[in-house]
């Protein structure tokens, strides 16, 4: 797992249109890089829709948002069309980038241990360093005062980082 202050791991992955996207493409901007298990599943759909809903706020903070999963570009294209998503989704079929960011590893579900995507989010600063990270993300967490959306937490943290 990369830690705050570390240089972000470089990547070059295809998006939903087959265009290669790399870390260098976002030099000088803030980047939200989030890793999720699978297109068109309940939690992943909520997360992608939440980031899409807040995209104007992220752009207002000079930030781009990229989602990464093992799904193919064709799967991403269908997912984007079905939910009218406005962000780019990257395909990491061999999990190389996920492993570099610590977003792939051992998980446990109902007592069964297996390897899979660890839902994670990173804020990468304009110099390519990790400014914040979340591991084992809850897309929407229940709190006493209501539901907290992870995308909102990321936006608020980004604004706080920029205010320093």
Cα–Cα dist 86/112, whole Å: 35
- What are 84-130's pLDDT values in tens digits? 999 999 999 999 999 999 999 988 778 888 899 999 999 999 999 99
Ordered by where they begin, the domains of the chain are 12-163 (3.40.30.10)
Binning pLDDT at 50, 70 and 90, where does residue 143 land? Answer: low
Q: Is the pTM of this model over 0.85?
A: yes
- What are 29-84's pLDDT values in tens digits? 999 999 999 999 998 999 999 999 999 999 999 999 999 999 999 999 999 999 99
- Whether 49 is a known active-site residue: answer no
Please provide the average confidence, as pLDDT, over all residues in the chain: 93
Point out the catalytic residue in the list 9, 23, 32, 44: 44
Nearest to 39 by CA among 80, 4, 8: 80
What is the pLDDT averaged over residues 134-148?
A: 76
At 144 the pLDDT is: 65
b/e per residue 135-164 (b: at least 16 CB within 10 A): eebebeeeeeeeeebbbebbbebbeeeeee
**Distances from the Cα of 133 to the Cαs of 107, 116, 123, in angstroms?**
18, 18, 6
Binning pLDDT at 50, 70 and 90, where does residue 148 land? Answer: confident
The phi-psi region of residue 161 (left if phi > 0; otherwise alpha if psi is between -120 and 50; otherwise beta) is: alpha
Answer yes or no: are the C-beta atoms of 51 and 16 closer than 8 Å. Answer: no
């Amino acid at each position: 797992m990369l830690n705050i202050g570390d240089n972000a791991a470089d990547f070059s992955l295809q998006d939903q249109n087959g265009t290669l996207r790399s870390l260098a493409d976002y030099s000088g901007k803030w980047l939200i890089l989030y890793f999720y298990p699978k297109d068109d599943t309940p939690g992943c759909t909520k997360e992608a829709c939440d980031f899409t809903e807040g995209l104007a706020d992220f752009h207002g903070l000079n930030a781009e948002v990229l989602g990464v999963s093992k799904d193919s570009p064709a799967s991403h294209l269908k997912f984007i069309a079905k939910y009218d998503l406005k962000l780019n989704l990257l395909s990491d079929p061999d999990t190389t980038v996920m492993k570099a960011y610590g977003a792939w590893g051992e998980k446990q579900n109902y007592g069964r241990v297996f390897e899979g995507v660890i839902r994670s989010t990173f804020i990468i600063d304009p110099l390519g360093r990790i400014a914040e990270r979340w591991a084992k993300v809850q897309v929407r967490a229940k709190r006493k005062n209501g539901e907290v959306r992870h995308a909102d937490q990321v936006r608020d943290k980004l604004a706080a980082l920029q205010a320093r």
